[in-house]
Amino acid sequence: MKTLQQRYEGRGLGHDLIIQTSVRLMVPFIQLFGLYVIVHGHYSPGGGFQGGVLLGASFILLALAFDIKMSMRHFSERINLVLGNTGALLFVGTGVLCALVGGLFLDYSALTALFPMDAIEWRSFGIFIVEVGVGLAVASIMLSLYWDLSSNGDLEEGL
């Protein structure tokens, strides 16, 4: 790890105009596509896991082409942790909520008691809520894993 960081400083690895420009152009499209994959998971191949990985990878790409500070300016450490917790809580919370309003655990049709909508529509919408939770958790945890593992945990300078 140490030698890699020294090489990084010595030869200016990663600071390449072509790479930085192309990453700058690509990242918004990757993020948009990630959101599309999460939201469109009902109708086409996709879902929370795949879309979350795309979202997380876009910020990892920023960190690789520029540095960790750059990716943390766009997606701060605190927001990252909050979103990771929110994602996991959204999934478990939906399940618990279903049980609280009188159904079985994760039986989304029970949520008609909260908001009057067709039970089958709720089952479809419940899947969507849960997928958003999965996407948030996966994106932020992936990013957190990269940040911490690549910078030895001090979030100062990574690979």
Partner 1 sequence: MKTVALLATLLTGALLLYGTKDFAPWADPQSPASTHLSAYYIENAVKETHVPNLVTAVLGDYRGYDTMFETVVIYCAGLAVVSVLRRRKS
Residues making contact with partner 1 (CB under 8 A): 41-49, 77-78, 81, 84, 87-88, 91-92, 95, 105-106, 108, 120-121, 123-124, 126-127, 130-131, 133-134, 137-138, 140-141, 144-145, 148-149, 152-156
Q: Which is nearer to partner 1, 19 or 53 (CB)?
A: 53
CB of 145 to partner 1, least distance (A): 5
Residues, the chain, total? 159
CB of 21 to partner 1, least distance (A): 31
Q: Which is nearer to partner 1, 31 or 50 (CB)?
A: 50
Q: Measure the CA dihedral 118/38/155/90, to 10°.
A: 10
Give the sign of the dihedral formed by CA 61, CA 67, CA 70, CA 76.
positive
End-to-end CA distance of the chain: 8
CB of 20 to partner 1, least distance (A): 26
Q: Which is nearer to partner 1, 23 or 132 (CB)?
A: 132
Q: What is the amino acid identity at position 60?
A: I
Q: Which is nearer to partner 1, 21 or 76 (CB)?
A: 76
Contact, 138 vs 49, CB < 8 A? yes
Of the candidates 127, 53, 135, the one whose C-alpha atom is nearest the C-alpha of residue 88 is 135
Six-digit token pair at 37? 């994959």
